[in-house]
Amino acid sequence: MSCIFCKIAEHKAPAKIIFEDSDIIVFADFNPRAIVHLLVTPKFHCSRIMDLPDNLTLKIFETVRMITKELKLQDNFKLVLHNGALAGQIVEHLHFHYLSNQPNVDVKFKTVIT
């Protein structure tokens, strides 16, 4: 399957990764529309929120809270899901955009694949 986010999850495509575990990967959007623009993505390939297993749905939100604490953005971020082409989804692998325009956020990349 030639899914770019699956390739990133497998470390077979370039990415600036800030967090990953066996289920979830968080990496920088390569065309940022905010000072902080991350993509919070299940490693499991599915396109739509209705296809995401419950345990991964929970883990996505736990991960959002964890990175929010780490980046100290409790009061200043938004989460965006484009669910379907009509809603603006381009990459057909489910992902949440994590966006903040807070200046001076210390985003540390754990792994950078070039």
Cβ 39 vs Cβ 19: under 8 Å: no
Binding mask 79-98 for Zn ion (x = CB under 5 A): --------------x-----
Among 83, 102, 103, CA closest to 93: 83
CB-wise, 33 or 72, nearer to ligand AMP?
A: 33
Do β-strands 24-28 and 78-81 pair in parallel, antiparallel, or remain unpaired? unpaired
Site for Zn ion in 39-68 (CB under 5 A): 45
What does the DSSP 8-state code read for residue 106? -
45 contact choice in ligand AMP, Zn ion, none (CB below 5 to 8 Å, kind-dependent): Zn ion
Q: Which residues bind ligand AMP (CB under 6 A)?
A: 4, 13, 15, 29-31, 39, 82, 88-91
